Amino acid sequence: METVTSMPNALRATPTRRLFLTSGSSAAGFLKQKFSASGGGTQGWFPSPGHQDRAIEIQTRLIRDPVPETDDYNLFFEERRAHRAEDPRQCGSWLPDDPSVFSDFAAIATCWPDLDRAEFWVDPDPSAQLNLLMFLNWVSYHGMDTGKLYLVHGEKRWGEMDATAPMLIVPEAQSADPALLALAQTAWRAFRSSPSRWLDLLDDDTSQLPYLRRAIVVLLEELPDSITGLGRSEIEVLSLIAEGDVTPTQIQMAFARREPLTLEYWEVGKLLDTLADLAAPAILGLEGGPFDMASHDDESRMVQYDESGLRLSAFGEALLEGTTDFGHHGGINRWWGGIHLGEECWRWDAQRQTVIQPT
């Protein structure tokens, strides 16, 4: 381990080229504000004392979206697009992959040889952990120089921190040594392979990635439950609505406050659509959907949506009581890692803390 500011600026004869990697725009904004000397710069680079810096986001939606097994990321994104074209309902949100996601990998590959240092400032939430695994697998697969790569783990999301305030504790930068890279590759293969292999990671030493173990547990809980077919997030939505007088905006706010953050804005909206659009809907009262870009471009639809008064149907109440199964009513049609989930699919047995393979 070393501190992020390991070399005094006075000892640097020329600016070093440093790349900041994050898993979200808010974290990138924090870093630019924290380290930029002027807020300016050209071609994505911004000056800071003793450095010439750049920030790039690694932000692929990997929870409830297909995660193909290939290590060729050209094919990876092609397969994701093919699954969405086949049936967009099976994906985690109504939004297609942002083309800039893949171009960001290309930008990293282009500037990597000229970098003096690269730092991935890692958020602790499961989505960020998966994006970290995806990135570390990528640099390993392409044989890139990882001697210049360091990880900076945040106890909370970097974008939520005040960039103008002094850091009470200077974060340590963890070198990406061969053991850490091997752990990341093993975990990334496991998530793309099957829930059982993902569960097996809990028997391994994952301490080099301090928030991976929590992500493993949370994502196992997102599998359909062995009794009701509901994932952790479906249960939370139905439980919130059962309290009464709830709008979609309040659901979004509850998920944004959730620790750890699992589903984000577009995924929460898609989940509400799924629960409302079944032949026998689990929730009633949702207006103005679906929760896509078209609805956001229509102010009247968004007002209608935001003001929707949500309530449980009799089916939703039965699901929450555990007396019926979501999968038997066509409710399960989504991805978990590299596995598509349907009526007969992998389940999570919360009581025994294990997974159940489909027969």
Q: Residue 175 is inside which H or E element, if any?
A: strand 172-175
State whether 98 and 164 are in the same domain. Answer: yes
What mean pLDDT is reported for the chain? 90
The answer to whether residue 202 sits within a structural domain is yes
State whether 232 and 214 are in the same domain. Answer: no
Residue 82: Cβ within 10 Å count: 11
Please give the residue range of the domain that contains residue 248: 225-331
75, pLDDT greater than 50:
yes
State whether 47 and 73 are in the same domain. Answer: yes
Q: How confident is the model at residue 48 (pLDDT cuts 50, 70, 90)?
A: low
**pLDDT tens figures, 243-286:** 999 999 999 999 999 999 999 999 999 999 999 999 899 999 99
DSSP 221: H
Task: Summarize the confidence of residues 29-38 as an average pLDDT.
Answer: 76
Give the Å distances, CA to CA, from 50 to 9, 20, 35, 43, 350: 5, 15, 10, 18, 52
Q: Which of 4-8, 132-136, 295-299, 305-309 has the lowest mean pLDDT?
A: 4-8
State whether 206 and 248 are in the same domain. Answer: no
Looking at 171, 187, 220, which one is the last position of a domain?
220
The answer to whether residue 66 sits within a structural domain is yes
pLDDT of residue 42: 39
Burial 38-55 (b: 16+ CB within 10 A, else e): eeebeeebbbbebbbbbb
How far apart (Å, rounded) are the C-alpha atoms in residues 328 and 146?
Answer: 48
State whether 242 and 182 are in the same domain. Answer: no
**pLDDT tens figures, 176-199:** 999 999 999 999 999 999 999 999
CB proximity list for 282: less than 8 A, separation 6 or greater: 238, 275, 276, 312, 313, 315, 316, 319, 326, 331
State whether 159 and 250 are in the same domain. Answer: no
222, pLDDT greater than 90:
yes
The answer to whether residue 347 sits within a structural domain is no
pLDDT of residue 8: 36
State whether 199 and 234 are in the same domain. Answer: no
Residue 131: Cβ within 10 Å count: 25
Query: Tokens at residue 314, please?
Result: 């009799």
State whether 55 and 68 are in the same domain. Answer: yes
Q: What is the DSSP string of 126-157?
A: HHHHHHHHHHHHHHHHTT--GGGEEEEE-SS-
Residue type, 175: S
Query: Is the distance from CB of 187 to CB of 212 less than 8 angstroms?
Result: yes
Query: Is the distance from CB of 55 to CB of 160 less than 8 angstroms?
Result: no
State whether 216 and 240 are in the same domain. Answer: no
Phi, psi of 307 (to 5 degrees): -95, 5
pLDDT of residue 359: 85
51, pLDDT greater than 70:
no
The answer to whether residue 278 sits within a structural domain is yes
148, pLDDT greater than 80:
yes
pLDDT of residue 24: 86
State whether 78 and 199 are in the same domain. Answer: yes
CB proximity list for 120: less than 8 A, separation 6 or greater: 21, 22, 58, 132, 135, 149, 150, 151, 152
Give the Å distances, CA to CA, from 26 to 36, 127, 161, 163, 304: 15, 14, 10, 11, 29
Looking at 220, 235, 264, which one is the last position of a domain?
220
The number of domains in the chain is 2
Of 177, 2, 19, nearest in space to 111 by CA: 19
More confident residue, 97 or 242: 242
Strand-pair partners of 3: 172
Query: Is the distance from CB of 327 to CB of 229 less than 8 angstroms?
Result: yes
Q: Residue 121 is inside which H or E element, if any?
A: strand 117-122
State whether 143 and 162 are in the same domain. Answer: yes
The answer to whether residue 343 sits within a structural domain is no
Q: Identify the CATH number of the domain in which residue 157 sits.
A: 3.40.50
How far apart (Å, rounded) are the C-alpha atoms in residues 266 and 163?
Answer: 27
How far apart (Å, rounded) are the C-alpha atoms in residues 117 and 50?
Answer: 13
